[in-house]
Amino acid sequence: MFLRQQVQERQVVVDHNLCFFCGACVAICPPDSIFLDNTHLSIDDKTCTRCERCVRMCPVHALSMEP
């Protein structure tokens, strides 16, 4: 239970200097927690399961999982 709480406290962080809005992370996210328009990418922490698929998918490493 304690471990689960620790996992949930981590969150995906976007480096807006690196993201070029390719949409790859949006397509790979199982619960559709990533939202993208032409100028901004955001992540819904309430539905994100912390699976890290988006972190591994991003071609320019713009996403990271941080405490």
The footprint of ligand SF4 (CB under 6 A) covers 12, 14, 19-25, 28-31, 33-34, 36, 41, 43, 48-54, 57-58, 60, 62-63
Q: How far is the CB of 9 from ligand SF4 (least distance, A)?
A: 13
Q: How far is the CB of 29 from ligand SF4 (least distance, A)?
A: 3
The answer to whether residues 43 and 50 touch, using CB atoms and an 8 Å cutoff, is: no
Q: How far is the CB of 56 from ligand SF4 (least distance, A)?
A: 9
> Could you tell me where the DSSP H helices lie in the chain?
2-9, 24-28, 53-57
Token reading at 67: 């405490």
DSSP class of residue 41 equals: E
